Chain A
Amino acid sequence: MLHKSPHPDLHEPPLVQIRDLAAGYHGTRVIENVSLDIMRNDFAALLGPSGSGKTTVLRAIVGAADVYAGDVLFRGEPVRKARPRIGYVPQLEAIDWNFPVTVEQVVLMGATRNAPLFPWFRRKDRLRAGQVLERLGLDGLANRQIRELSGGQQQRVFLGRALVSEPEILLLDEPTAGVDIKTRDDVLHLLDELNHQGIAILMSTHEINAVAAHLPRVICMNGRILADGTPREVLTPAVLKATYGAEMPVTEYRGMTLVAETPHQFGAAASSVSGNGHVHGESGHVHDDIVIEIPADD
């Protein structure tokens, strides 16, 4: 398990506050009544099935989703006004890999707002990009076209773009999807290191045991937040059934929470489920008990 998030300060106001948010795209609501606080040193995973709104939460924070109700605040100010330093790393499948850009050019894009009135990237930006590439182990690949890299290297390039922007928070959309076990481990440890340096991290993932169970905070959602807390508090059969609509037994191994995923039950007609998924999050906020109605045809 990765180290716990460093010194969460309960007296400090949240970095990001999401209040009663309803958001989606082109008039269709993907998430409803989402309320969430992200603290300065949080390292949290958004967990849920496809279409549960994980990406929409991330995109609402960066202003890339349509907001129908509620607020997204950054340090207490509406996110559009606050112009926050957010490093957003989208899903790699959204990238045009044939685009003729080099690793260095992609990483430098993160420095765009560092000098908004300056037409080109400054020497300072290039030096910073070089440092980031070195830190990510990509320093020999600066002039390579992005398509020529391995999956893990490609992931690190986009993480590099986020880091060059000197972010206060990193939002990562499935950063470990489609990479091998070693790369996934490397990415998680790198994120942990960044978190210990003071960068808040919120990432979406489908990987319960390999990723979510290792993080200090897990947020389960399916259109709305179902549970929020440590893996031990959140990864319970009741919450997982409410999230995925399937029985998923939970066990412990050497202090780690392990979830037995049973995909053969996915899609089975679910009836009304009651689950006591309420948790006391590390940041101190408490969710109400959850009573979830799952339609039989959902």
Chain B
Amino acid sequence: MTEPFEFEFFVRGLIAATMVGGLAGMMGVYIVLRRMSYIGHGLSHAIFGGAVVSFIMSINFYVGASIWGFLSAVLIQWTSRRRSISSDAAIGIITTASFALGIALISRTQTFTRSFEAALFGNILGVTGSDLVAIALVTGAVLIAVIVGYKYLLFATFDTEVAASYGVPVRWVDTAFALVLAGTVVVSMQVLGVTMIAAALVVPPIVARQFTGSFTRLMVLSPLIGASAGAIGIYLSWFIDVSSGASVVLVASGFFVVSIVYASARDRLLAARGRAGVA
């Protein structure tokens, strides 16, 4: 059972997945409450295009992909403010175009197909010490942003249109949110893969929501669920020999099934108690 811990790359992958799971769980609360579940999926695809461009232009992956992701997120927000284009359509257009650009560039440059397979599906073998530092820095930055911007983020998420009239700088909050979201997706790519990030963002807050109706508790519970899914998923991936991203998301999905069963049973029990009380 302890065999994988003898390998340094596994320990690095485990730490990375735990941090990324917690980070995605934290950001996911805002994403779900803002009804932007699709943006994680879209942004990860957009950043894939940015990653390819960074590689070709010999720019540091984290710098290039983060700038690309941030610009994509801001562009999505800007486009969806137009009455004629809904936010899901804006996400679909911008991110798919970016993803297609990445694929087109890969098609023309056959040399790095393998590493981009890892970017698509996640691979802990590729997690380096620098990746761990980058993940830790982004996690720390997001944690600070969430704590310092607590009241602004909460108001802008709950009641965007009214928040501005109470002194919340909504556009700045949205821009800062786009920045930290882009950072989250960029550092999650290596561990989870482009195709799995959306689930890592959305599933933990949905699971946590089945257990609590308090925003504060949600902000604690969701990262814990995400981090647990990350750690357990990576650990299991060693034994079942599947990609790390898929393993993490399958564990998170397992949590989701358990939470739904629990919530259904609880609701039935409460309804039965209510009927007994009436009788």
Q: Are A109 and B214 in contact (CB under 8 A)?
A: no
A94 to B163, CA, bound (A): 13
> Which of A88, A99, A120 contacts B165 (CB under 8 A)?
A88
Q: Are A112 and B167 in contact (CB under 8 A)?
A: yes
**Residues A101 and B215 in contact in the complex (CB < 8 Å), given A109-B155, A112-B155, A112-B168:** yes
Q: Are A90 and B161 in contact (CB under 8 A)?
A: yes
**Which residues 5-46 in B have Cβ within 8 Å of A in the complex?**
33
The reply on A33 being an interface residue by CB < 8 A is: no
**Which residues 81-97 in A have Cβ within 8 Å of B in the complex?**
83, 86, 88, 90, 94-96
Query: In this complex, what residue of A is CB-closest to B165?
Result: A62
The reply on B3 being an interface residue by CB < 8 A is: no
Q: Are A113 and B215 in contact (CB under 8 A)?
A: no
Number of cross-chain contacts by CB at 8 Å: 74
Chain B 162-175, CB within 8 Å of chain A: the 1/0 string? Answer: 11111110000000
Q: Are A83 and B167 in contact (CB under 8 A)?
A: yes
The reply on B55 being an interface residue by CB < 8 A is: no
Query: In this complex, what residue of B is CB-closest to A95?
Result: B159
**Residues A119 and B215 in contact in the complex (CB < 8 Å), given A96-B158, A109-B159:** no
**Which residues 139-159 in B have Cβ within 8 Å of A in the complex?**
147-152, 154-155, 158-159
Q: Are A105 and B148 in contact (CB under 8 A)?
A: no
Total interface residues on A, CB under 8 Å, equals 30
**Residues A86 and B165 in contact in the complex (CB < 8 Å), given A109-B155, A119-B147, A119-B150:** yes
Count class of interface residues, chain B: 20 to 34
The reply on B274 being an interface residue by CB < 8 A is: no
A25 to B155, CA, bound (A): 23
Chain A 146-172, CB within 8 Å of chain B: the 1/0 string? Answer: 000000000000000100010000000
Q: Are B154 and A64 in contact (CB under 8 A)?
A: no
Q: Are B165 and A105 in contact (CB under 8 A)?
A: no
Q: Are A101 and B154 in contact (CB under 8 A)?
A: yes
Listed residue (A63, A110, A119, A165) with the most chain B CB atoms within 10 angstroms of its CB: A119
A237 to B213, CA, bound (A): 51
Q: Nearest Cβ in chain A — how far from B134, in angstroms? A: 25
Q: Are B213 and A100 in contact (CB under 8 A)?
A: yes
A123 partner residues in chain B, CB cutoff 8 A: none
A109 partner residues in chain B, CB cutoff 8 A: 151, 154-155, 158-159, 163, 166
**Residues A90 and B149 in contact in the complex (CB < 8 Å), given A100-B213, A116-B167:** no
**Residues A88 and B212 in contact in the complex (CB < 8 Å), given A105-B154, A113-B167:** no
A110 to B162, CA, bound (A): 10
The reply on B83 being an interface residue by CB < 8 A is: yes
B162 partner residues in chain A, CB cutoff 8 A: 62, 64, 88, 90
The reply on A145 being an interface residue by CB < 8 A is: yes
B147 partner residues in chain A, CB cutoff 8 A: 119
Apart from the given pairs A112-B151, A120-B151, 7 other A-B contacts in the complex at a CB distance below 8 Å: A62-B164, A100-B213, A100-B218, A101-B154, A106-B158, A112-B163, A119-B148
Give 30 pairs: A residue, B residue, CB < 8 Å, sorted on A.
A62-B164, A62-B165, A64-B165, A83-B167, A86-B165, A88-B165, A88-B166, A95-B159, A96-B158, A99-B33, A99-B158, A100-B33, A100-B209, A100-B214, A100-B218, A101-B154, A101-B215, A102-B214, A106-B158, A109-B154, A109-B159, A109-B166, A112-B163, A112-B168, A113-B167, A116-B167, A119-B148, A119-B151, A120-B151, A145-B213
5 smallest CB-CB distances across A and B, nearest first, come from A113-B167, A62-B165, A26-B83, A145-B213, A119-B148
Q: A-side interface residues toward B, CB under 8 Å? A: 25-26, 62-64, 83, 86, 88, 90, 94-96, 99-102, 105-106, 108-110, 112-113, 116, 119-121, 145, 161, 165
